[in-house]
Structure 1
């Protein structure tokens, strides 16, 4: 199957003083266009009329105005598609990113030792300079400009931490992703607030399983949540936005690292496919009080799934989704499969019917993989025993791979460490 795969490269713009002023004015005009688009869309005006009016009225180059309006309406479309949650604001403040297409709103020029840029802001005004960034990113962009297999696409100019950045999308147009039906191994992925559990199954047996912990994301998000509430209580909204941006960057960075680790693990198996829970509509079933709802609604489930999906696609690994109903409540042993909510208590799964104990997220990952096999019309293996639960956690020295400890659980020929599951 032919599938276009896109990667985003980040560079520093470092414009001179006049260039900074041009960008600042254009950011404010883009913000005005965004706010006006959202306001009129909320009022129920025809979207085609909104496009026509604002694209012709905006004090931006035509290409940028079109993309700002398009991004604004996409935000409204996502709001309606994902359960009317998180409605876009029409009073957004601060700088708003400038989108533009390659060779229309911006251009790149290769030189022996650098890559120069020219970005249009307002009509008849351009910002020029040299891109700076990591050597890997510069080399990838240089290769994308010169290679027929890559296409340089849309870019966003923005200001972050007093720095001007250009985020450039490059697309590999000839990447091959295997058909799901050709897969031999189904890897169930259960994404949670502080970990992702993976279980690899084929038609004969379970091959392996692992729980990748990232507690630092949960801890940092809780810390920033507390800090934002305190600043809101004293009316310091600027600090609230600063903490929100810092949290977003931290989580974004960690999720990239976790997704790479997931894809490295999945790549070990023969013709794998990664299966996720389809969590669309999840918010309708969550009602645990204001504070907990806010925390759970903002979890980056979708972002981590997207990171894993596109990184896997670069390795030719397809992805799929299944109905998540009862995956966390059902016993994964084929002879039992007893399903009840009381089977799960936080991170511990203990079947009240057969007495088997397991890590709750690993148990859910196995159930997801079983559903994935069924969706592919494959035989689900007769699981009578399961491997010990292994955990992997990122630490300063790198990844730590170890079995969990304490409470007894099912034994099998896969056991190679201390038996048990974690609390």
Structure 2
């Protein structure tokens, strides 16, 4: 089947002094539009009235104003969707990106050895210059401008780390994605605070599994949360947004790296389909108290899933989702399938019925893959044994040499003769 796929290309802008001032002024005006949109939405103003008023009032080109207002209202819509969690602030004090559509708020011009840009920062005051970026990104953008199969879309101009950037979305309008109904290999994906577990299941048997650790995301998020909390307690709230942006950039970069590694692992199999837990169902089932709810609701499950989904789609690999009910509590061996919360203790899964031990997230990934096969009306194999768990540590050199699952139901040897799962 064919599907539209979008990717983002990042370029550096090198405007002259007058261009820098125009962009800075426009960023501040975009911030005002964002804050005013959020404030009025909180007050219960009709959204169509907000749009109309700000389009006539803002000192930006109409296209940019429309897209900034749209992004603000999407933030409010997302807040309502997730049961009034994480309400957007209407007192943001940092520069806000300029959003614009191709050939409306910005334009690109091909020359023999470069690509030039024109950004309408303010009405009748464009910023002009030459895009700077990697050769691959420039070549992809040049191809997208010239090709009928690609479409150049929305872009965001922003200031980051004292540098000016332009993030351009390009969309492949007719990318080929494998039809899920024709596939027999399912890769179950279990996304967690500090790792992602993958299990590849065929109609005949489990093929392979792996756990990819990324503890640095959890550690950095906790560090930034602690710093912001201390600043708030000392009345220094003006630094809050700066730290929030640093955290967002760090997490965004790490999630891109993790998602690439996931897709590389999945791509080794012939005609796979990736299966996730339904994130909305999972969020609605979380209620572990104020502190744990804050941690779990703010985790970037959705963003990592989106990164994996679109990167896999560019490789022709489709994605699907299943109901997450009991995937972390059920024993994945077919002859057992005992389901109880007592089976899991942090990262250790020990079935209270058959006694099998496993890495808890790997066990969940297998259950997700089994549900995925059933959803596709495929034969779910009878699992009598499971392969040893392999853990990939992103900051280490390669795989861990010893398995973390060591039980006589697992194929292979025991680590030092001891059966069990490491914490």
Q: In structure 2, what is the Cα distance between the partners aligned to 1:58 and 1:329?
A: 53
Deviation sequence 1:360-416 (CA, Å, 0-9, x none): 00000000001101111112111111111111111265x43544247535223xx37
Q: Which residue of 1 aligns with 2:109?
A: 109
Q: Which residue of 2 aligns with 1:81?
A: 81
Does residue 1:197 correspond to 2:197, yes or no? yes
Q: Which residue of 1 aligns with 2:228?
A: 228
| Structure 1, 44-53 or 258-267: larger mean CA deviation | 44-53
The 8 Å contact of residues 271 and 317 in structure 1, kept in 2 or not, is answered as yes
Specify the SS of the correspondent of 1:216: helix
Q: CA deviation at 1:233?
A: 2.3
Q: In structure 2, what is the Cα distance between the partners aligned to 1:82 and 1:142?
A: 40
- Sort the Cα spacing of 1:105 and 1:239 in 2 relative to 1 into closer, same or farther, 3 A: same
TM alignment of 1:154-173, pairs within 5 A: 154-173=154-173
Deviation sequence 1:124-145 (CA, Å, 0-9, x none): 1101111112222222212222
Does residue 1:316 correspond to 2:316, yes or no? yes
Q: Which residue of 1 aligns with 2:47?
A: 47
Q: Which residue of 1 aligns with 2:291?
A: 291
Specify the SS of the correspondent of 1:378: coil
**TM-score of the superposition, structure 1-length normalised?**
0.94
Q: CA deviation at 1:254?
A: 1.3
The 8 Å contact of residues 199 and 209 in structure 1, kept in 2 or not, is answered as yes
Q: Which residue of 1 aligns with 2:370?
A: 370
The 8 Å contact of residues 389 and 420 in structure 1, kept in 2 or not, is answered as no
Does residue 1:244 correspond to 2:239, yes or no? no
Q: CA deviation at 1:113?
A: 2.6
| Structure 1, 261-270 or 352-361: larger mean CA deviation | 261-270
TM alignment of 1:12-411, pairs within 5 A: 12-395=12-395, 397=397, 399-400=398-399, 402-405=401-404, 407-408=406-407, 410-411=409-410
- Sort the Cα spacing of 1:409 and 1:28 in 2 relative to 1 into closer, same or farther, 3 A: farther
Q: In structure 1, what is the Cα distance between the partners aligned to 2:281 and 2:340?
A: 21
Specify the SS of the correspondent of 1:107: strand
Deviation sequence 1:267-289 (CA, Å, 0-9, x none): 11121110000121544433334
The 8 Å contact of residues 388 and 420 in structure 1, kept in 2 or not, is answered as no
Q: CA deviation at 1:90?
A: 2.1
Query: What is the number of equivalent residue pairs in this alignment?
Result: 420
Q: In structure 2, what is the Cα distance between the partners aligned to 1:235 and 1:47?
A: 33
Q: CA deviation at 1:48?
A: 2.0
The 8 Å contact of residues 407 and 422 in structure 1, kept in 2 or not, is answered as no
Q: CA deviation at 1:201?
A: 0.7
Deviation sequence 1:60-81 (CA, Å, 0-9, x none): 1111111112112212222222
**TM-score of the superposition, structure 2-length normalised?**
0.94
The 8 Å contact of residues 185 and 273 in structure 2, kept in 1 or not, is answered as yes
Q: CA deviation at 1:243?
A: 2.4
Q: In structure 2, what is the Cα distance between the partners aligned to 1:420 and 1:200?
A: 22
Q: In structure 1, what is the Cα distance between the partners aligned to 2:157 and 2:414?
A: 51
Deviation sequence 1:297-316 (CA, Å, 0-9, x none): 21111111000000000011
The CA RMSD over aligned residues, in Å, is: 1.8
Q: In structure 2, what is the Cα distance between the partners aligned to 1:261 and 1:280?
A: 25
The 8 Å contact of residues 356 and 407 in structure 2, kept in 1 or not, is answered as no
The 8 Å contact of residues 388 and 409 in structure 1, kept in 2 or not, is answered as no
Flag as ranges the 4+ runs of structure 1 deviating above 6 A.
none
Q: CA deviation at 1:181?
A: 1.3
The 8 Å contact of residues 194 and 218 in structure 2, kept in 1 or not, is answered as yes
Q: In structure 1, what is the Cα distance between the partners aligned to 2:408 and 2:306?
A: 33
The 8 Å contact of residues 322 and 368 in structure 2, kept in 1 or not, is answered as yes
